[in-house]
Amino acid sequence: MPSEDPTIFVLFGATGDLAKRMVLPAFFELHTRGLMPETWRMVGNGRGDVSHLDFRGHVKEVLDEFGPKYTAEQWDAFVEHLFFAGGGFEKSNPGSLLDVLQEAHDDLGPDARYIHYLAIPPSAFIKITEGLDEHDLIRDDSRVVYEKPYGNSLASFHELDDLVQSVMKEEQVYRIDHFLGKEATQNIHVLRFANALFANIWCKEYVTQVQIDVPETLDVADRAGFYDETGAFKDMIATHLFQVAAEVAMEPPASMRAEDLQDARESVLAAFRPLEADDVVFGQYEGYRELPDVPDDSQTDTMAAVRLWVDTDRWRGVPFVLRSGKQMAVSQQKVILVVRTPQGPLTHVPASTIELSLKGTGEMQVQLVLKKPGPDLDLVEQRIDLKLDNGTDSSGLPPYVALLHDVTLGDRSLFTSSAGLERAWTAAAPVVDHPPAPVPYRPGSWGPSESVRLTGDVGWVLQDAADGS
């Protein structure tokens, strides 16, 4: 249901790449689905001297390229809410933003709620936050959305978060992680807590390894300069995949309320053992250093794999093996539980697996060992596939749409907390402070073969399936 509160959305970085590809299309889809607040206005902000009319033309071009199909009537109903404030924004110079916001209050009323969305480079988070405080744009009911990465080390996390916590309450902060907004990630909760079949085996007694595998075929040519300052470990592992691991490893929360889900995530993140050198492999695809804006001696990882240990009674001794990288063999997003081989009369039986795809609305595959039809006791591996939108009469919300909707409602269950992120960066700190040298790998491959050792005698399930082994 939409919020009833009059709302002014302030989109910082409104003409940037992130707003173009993700945020503006998400706002439009919220509108067309009837999920925006009953009365609202969006004020885009940027350095350029852009008129309201020109900004509206820019948004239309964005939707034509990246948005869903729409009708003229849908566009006409949306465009009337769009405005722009140029001249940038910071503590010493707010540009034209304050004037445009006053016009918005004249239309919506003086008590209209602010939702500030920082779709800007992380290096600008502190400057914008200081500006919001200086110009009294953080009220008691305001909400502020920070894109990732929220810090790129434990020290930079503390620098940013200390400022944020000094000017607003924790419940006003929405640190976005689009992996938590995925329908399939949320379905891990329901699969586990609503089905005893899975709930009872979700522990070290039945699971020998958990793999979270997110290879990508994409390269980084269009944002090589930014990527070279970050790399795969900071961009994916220490942020998104640590949070997915916490979703998998958490204890059952007291309820499905936002605060109880966050408490459960924070508790298990605190049990992540800090990474050691032997638990990490970095790779860099051949040709990466030839890209524009990439130094000839760059040590940036374009692929990272880690073996994470979760020191709880439920998971102690079970490795969580996480991998992500660019220019790899396939594009996939999988959580895979490798089930222990049962004791009994059947020996040398392949391990069963439960595979959860995080793409789209989600898909589950269960790999079982069964008897092959015939007179002899021959075994065969059989895969059972289940698409999670089968049998439903509604389509799921894309991650950014779902998360934006939650912001309008004040639901923080799918957002990372300050305590949770601090614990994630604490576990990642040894690697951030002392990163290993990346091993070269061929574009289109599965990355450096050294990463296989992190899986022990299991191997990468996704890779072995693709190779037919």
Catalytic residues: 240
Radius of gyration of the chain (CA): 24
Q: Other C-beta atoms within 10 Å of 130: how many?
A: 15
Is position 326 annotated in a ligand binding site?
A: yes
Q: Residue 61, SS3? A: helix
Q: Is 45 exposed, middle or buried (0-12, 13-18, 19+ CB in 10 A)?
A: buried
Dihedral angle over CA of 16, 17, 20, 21, nearest 10: -160
Q: Other C-beta atoms within 10 Å of 275: how many?
A: 21
Is position 334 annotated in a ligand binding site?
A: no
Q: Classify residue 290 by its DSSP letter.
A: G
Rounded CA separation 252/199 (Å) = 10
Q: Residue 173, SS3? A: strand
Is position 19 annotated in a ligand binding site?
A: yes
Is position 127 annotated in a ligand binding site?
A: no
Dihedral angle over CA of 175, 178, 179, 183, nearest 10: 120
Is position 222 annotated in a ligand binding site?
A: no
Cβ 179 vs Cβ 240: under 8 Å: yes
Is position 18 annotated in a ligand binding site?
A: yes
C-alpha of 12 from chain center? 20
Strands (DSSP E) found in 181-256: 207-215
Is position 234 annotated in a ligand binding site?
A: no
| Residue 293: both structure tokens together | 């804006």
Is position 396 annotated in a ligand binding site?
A: no
Rounded CA separation 369/20 (Å) = 47
Residue 422: name the closest of 89, 160, 39 by CA: 160
Residue 357 belongs to what H/E stretch?
strand 353-357
Q: Residue 17, SS3? A: helix
Is position 216 annotated in a ligand binding site?
A: yes
Is position 178 annotated in a ligand binding site?
A: yes
| Residue 280: both structure tokens together | 């990490």
Is position 148 annotated in a ligand binding site?
A: yes
Query: One-letter amino acid identity for 106?
Result: D
Rounded CA separation 10/397 (Å) = 22
Residue 326 belongs to what H/E stretch?
none
Rounded CA separation 183/190 (Å) = 11
Which amino acids are annotated as binding site for substrate, given as ranges? Answer: 178, 182, 216, 235, 326
Annotated binding site for NADP(+): 13-20, 47, 148
Residue list, annotated binding site: 13-20, 47, 148, 178, 182, 216, 235, 326
